[in-house]
C-alpha cells in the first residue's frame, strides 16, 4: 500500500537548511556565522580552494581559526544560509591586498621608508594604558609621522591640574580623549570645567566616546558577539565582561590577558566603533593643524 507519511524524515543531511527557507550569502571577510554541527561561531577570514572544494576559515572570539566546507550548514543572525565564494575575482582580491598594503591601520596612505619625526610640542592624552595601546595599534604610524606623542592620564579626576602642568599654548596644543563622556556623568562635569580653564582653553580640545571602557569601542562582531554583554551596576565592568566571555578574571594579570585577546582582534579602524574613530581623528587633526 502507498506510504501515507512519505519518505523517512531523518534521511538526508540534517545540516542542510530546508528548501525554500535558506538564502545564499557570499562568504565575505568579516561576516560572522555559526557552523550548526559544531556550534563554532566566528568571522570569515578567508576562503580558499583545497582538494577540489572551497573551504571557509572562521576566526572565533579567542583568535582561534577553523576551516569548514563552503556550502549549507551555517547560520547568520540565527537564520539558515548557504555560504558561497566571495564575489570579488582573484584579480580584484589581489588589487585589494595591494591597496591595503599601501594603507596604515587607520586607513591613511602609508609613507614608505618614512622615519618617525622628532616629537612636536603638542600631545594627545588618554585615560589609561588600554586606551594608549589601542590608539598606538590603529594610529601609531600616523602619529609617528606627525611627531605626536600619546601620554596617559590615569583617570580624569585631576584634569585641570594636568592642563595647568602641561601649559598648552601656541605650538603646544593638547588633545584629551575621555572614556564614558555622556551627559550627566562625572566625566561630563569634569570636562565642562576643564574646557573653560583660562588661559589655556583655546589650545585644548577634549573629546570622548560613550563607552564605559575603551574595550567596548571594539566592534562586538570581532569577538563573535552581536552586542557587548550588559554588566549590572555595582559590579566591576571588566570582571563582568571577562566572566561573560568565559575568560579568567581573578587577578589583574587575568584582566591584562583578556585585553590582549580583545586588542588582538583589532586589525584596522574598521574594527572600531565610529564614535571613537571620530574623536581620535579630530584630536589628531587639532594637534597637527598647520601653523600650530
Q: List the pLDDT tens digit at each of the 292 positions of the chain.
A: 444 444 444 444 444 444 446 789 999 888 888 999 888 888 888 888 766 788 898 887 767 888 899 999 999 887 899 999 987 654 455 445 545 445 666 555 555 555 445 457 899 999 999 999 999 999 988 888 888 899 999 889 999 999 999 999 998 999 999 999 999 999 999 999 999 999 999 999 999 999 999 999 999 999 888 999 999 988 899 999 999 999 999 999 999 999 999 999 998 888 999 999 999 999 999 999 876 5
Answer whether 130's CB lies under 8 Å from 259's CB.
yes
How far is C-alpha 129 from the geometric centre of its chain's CA atoms? 16
| Residue found under cell 594579570 | 253
Give, for 285, the enclosing helix (H) or strand (E): helix 274-287
The fold adopted by the segment(s) 23-84 is SH3 type barrels. (2.30.30)
Name every residue whose Cβ is closer than 8 Å to that of residue 228 and which is 6 or more positions away in sequence.
Answer: 216, 220, 241
Q: Where are the beta strands (DSSP E) in the chain?
A: 23-26, 32-35, 40-50, 53-59, 65-69, 74-76, 79-84, 123-126, 149-152, 174-178, 204-208
pTM: 0.62
Domain 123-218+266-287 has CATH 1.10.760: no
Q: Residue 33 class from Cβ within 10 Å (0-12 exposed, 13-18 middle, 19+ buried)? A: buried
Each domain of the chain, given as residue ranges in start order, spans 23-84, 123-218+266-287
DSSP-assigned beta bridge partners for residue 218: 272
Most distant CA atoms of the chain, gap in Å: 97
Amino acid at each position: 500500500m502507498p506510504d501515507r507519511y512519505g519518505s523517512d524524515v531523518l534521511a538526508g543531511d540534517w545540516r542542510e537548511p530546508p528548501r525554500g527557507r535558506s538564502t545564499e550569502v557570499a562568504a565575505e571577510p568579516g561576516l560572522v556565522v555559526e557552523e550548526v554541527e559544531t556550534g563554532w561561531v566566528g568571522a570569515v577570514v578567508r576562503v580558499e580552494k583545497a582538494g577540489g572544494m572551497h573551504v571557509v576559515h572562521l576566526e572565533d572570539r579567542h583568535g582561534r581559526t577553523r576551516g569548514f566546507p563552503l556550502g549549507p550548514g551555517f547560520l547568520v543572525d540565527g537564520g539558515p544560509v548557504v555560504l558561497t565564494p566571495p564575489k570579488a575575482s582573484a584579480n580584484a582580491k589581489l588589487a585589494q591586498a595591494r591597496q591595503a598594503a599601501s594603507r596604515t591601520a587607520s586607513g591613511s596612505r602609508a609613507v614608505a621608508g618614512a622615519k618617525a619625526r622628532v616629537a612636536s610640542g603638542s600631545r594627545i592624552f588618554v585615560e589609561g594604558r588600554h586606551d594608549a595601546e589601542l590608539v598606538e595599534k590603529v594610529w601609531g604610524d600616523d602619529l609617528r609621522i606627525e611627531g605626536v606623542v600619546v601620554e596617559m592620564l590615569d583617570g580624569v579626576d585631576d584634569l585641570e591640574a594636568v592642563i595647568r602642568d602641561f601649559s598648552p599654548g601656541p605650538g603646544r596644543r593638547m588633545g584629551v580623549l575621555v572614556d564614558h563622556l555622556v551627559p550627566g556623568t562625572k566625566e561630563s562635569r569634569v570636562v565642562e570645567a576643564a574646557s573653560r580653564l583660562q588661559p589655556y582653553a583655546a589650545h585644548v580640545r577634549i573629546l570622548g566616546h560613550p563607552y564605559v571602557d575603551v574595550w567596548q569601542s571594539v566592534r562586538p562582531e570581532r569577538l563573535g558577539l552581536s552586542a557587548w554583554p550588559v554588566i549590572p551596576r555595582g559590579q566591576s565592568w571588566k570582571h563582568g565582561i571577562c566572566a561573560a566571555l568565559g575568560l579568567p578574571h581573578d587577578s589583574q594579570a587575568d584582566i591584562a590577558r583578556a585585553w590582549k585577546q580583545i586588542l588582538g582582534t583589532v586589525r584596522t579602524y574598521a574594527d572600531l566603533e565610529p564614535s571613537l574613530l571620530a574623536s581620535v581623528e579630530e584630536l589628531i587633526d587639532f594637534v597637527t593643524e598647520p601653523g600650530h
